[in-house]
Amino acid sequence: MGNDKKQVESITSMSEDFAQWYTDVVKNAELADYSSIKGCLIIRPYGYALWENMQRELDRMFKETGHENVYMPMFISESLLNKEKDHIEGFAPEVAWVTHGGETELEERLCVRPTSETLFCDHYANIVKSYKDLPKLYNQWCSVVRWEKTTRPFLRSREFLWQEGHTVHATAEEAREETIRMLNIYADFCKDFLALPVNKGRKTDKEKFAGAEETYSIEALMHDGKALQSGTSHYFGNGFAKAFNIQFLDKNNELQYVYETSWGVSTRLIGAVIMVHGDDFGLVLPPKLAPTQVIVIPIAQHKEGVIEKATEIKDRISKVARTKIDTTDKMPGWKFSEYEMRGVPIRVEIGPKDIENNQAVLVRRDTREKISVSLNNIEEEITKLLEVIHNDMYQKALKMKEELTRSATTFEEFNNLLNEPKPGFVKAMWCGEKECELDIKDKTGGVTSRCIGEIQEHLSDTCICCGKPAKYMVYWGRAY
């Protein structure tokens, strides 16, 4: 117990200092470390394993819906980046510029990609000739660079890993369908794989992507009541197509511009998992994401037969779940808190008494509940429990999100809710004007529109800010 306490004490409690708690979990669960370059993260093996698991599942979902992976250069010439006016205005302030190759100054500066619309457009202009070439459904896994001023591990860094899908279509309708399809894939992935409930909706013009006609996002709610934009899907219309001259001959042999989409999620999702599911004992991983789903810990392992039996049980469970055993000479209490810190979904304790009784103790990470089960059918017990844990984690997170989602019809009420310690999402009506969004941000000290809810409710007739006729119900919040 002494060791156990020590381990647990080394992280700050959530309620005391949420930001410090977050940093402690990232560090103590060995997810990431700082590098000597400000804002550039080292993703350590345990953190990278989370990203690999996310990649594997998302990649499967992308390929199942007809997408293909490609790799574009990491550099974009200044002239190429400049081709679409809104896009360059959005990104110019935050790109890193390469000016020299070896000892030689380059004739034209190259930026390290902050996103790759311009590269994909340039390529599509070369390879798309006919309606028979459409649609092109490309995706790439890569890292991108945005020269942010303030950075936090996984949430905002100067370099981060992501995937970016870029598709071109013959019609606006088809491109719009793709935009929504990918938004739904992201939401389904969050629910089914990460046990994360999200709000889906469209971004306001102020918040949309530089160069997009429409941006959709999934927004998750963290334990501290702040919102995290966790994925975006953009409909570009044919704006980029015109800037880059991506044309094709349609069935009537007439030249048409393509319609385009892009969509992405990043290692930011690791931050979401930490801040939605984590607790004062550390990380809590949803079973499908967990690199190790079951950790077997022998009790009184010096006693005859304990390690052998525990190993046998580990081998059996390995057939149904990603399982490890810890037979190091550390105290069981130390091991308990170590694997709790790392968020392993199920701990299996097995000691001499358990062996005598032909049983083992399963400890759930999410609830820390202990359950004695017979060794006879431990594989089925584990399979069932992993499923139960996933569902319970999702329901718990959903309940938190619902409890922290409130409505307001007066500005005072709105402002009060969003100034509570846990601001959550506040639903309120909006006139559609950018001025009101800026005004709200100003008056509340930083509240932003998260999205125009996919499901619209009529809360009142007038805008929460200006009192003019309301157009949309918007989810407002304080965002990471």
By the criterion CB under 8 A, which residues form the site for its own copies? 33, 35-37, 40-45, 48-49, 51-52, 68-77, 80, 92-104, 110, 112, 119, 122-123, 126-127, 138, 142-143, 145, 147, 158-159, 161
* Rounded least distance, CB 41 to its own copies, Å: 7
Report in angstroms how near the CB of residue 105 gets to its own copies at its nearest: 10
Q: How far is the CB of 335 from its own copies (least distance, A)?
A: 15
Decide whether 52 or 435 has the Cβ nearer to its own copies: 52
- Which of 165/201 has CB closer to its own copies? 165
Residue 20 tokens read as 């410090």
Closest separation in Å from C-beta 89 to its own copies:
13
Q: How far is the CB of 46 from its own copies (least distance, A)?
A: 9
Residue 409 corresponds to which tokens in the numbers above? 């019809």
Smallest distance from the beta carbon of 128 to its own copies, in angstroms?
13
Q: Which is nearer to its own copies, 57 or 392 (CB)?
A: 57
Distances (CA, A) of 48 to 45, 118, 187, 284, 374: 5, 29, 22, 16, 35
Rounded Cα gap, residues 260 and 136, in angstroms: 10
CB of 328 vs its own copies, minimal distance in Å:
9
Residue closer to its own copies by CB (options 328, 376) is 328
Q: Round to whole Å and give the CA distance between 415 and 394.
A: 29
Give the C-alpha separation, 42 to 314, whole Å: 32
Residue 440 and residue 447 in contact, taking contact as beta carbons nearer than 8 Å: yes
What one-character-per-residue DSSP string does 331-397 give?
Answer: -HHHHHHHHHHTT-SEEEEE-HHHHHTTEEEEEETTT--EEEEESTTHHHHHHHHHHHHHHHHHHHH
- Closest Cα to residue 349, out of 375, 329, 383? 375
**Integer Cα distance of 119 and 287 in angstroms:** 37
Nearest to 114 by CA among 138, 92, 84: 92
Output the six-digit token pair for 455: 């499901």
* Nearest distance from C-beta of residue 57 to its own copies, angstroms: 15
Residue 61 or 398 with smaller CB distance to its own copies: 61
Whose Cβ is closer to its own copies: residue 127's or residue 371's? 127
Nearer to its own copies, 327 or 456 (CB): 327
Nearer to its own copies, 100 or 458 (CB): 100
Written as six digits, the tokens of 359 are 């049983």
**DSSP letters of 264-327?**
EEETHHHHHHHHHH-BTTB----TTT-SSSEEEEESSTTSTTHHHHHHHHHHHHHTTS-EEE--
SS3 18: helix
C-beta closer to its own copies: residue 145 or 431:
145
Residue 458 per-residue DSSP state: -
Minimum Å distance from CB 378 to its own copies? 26
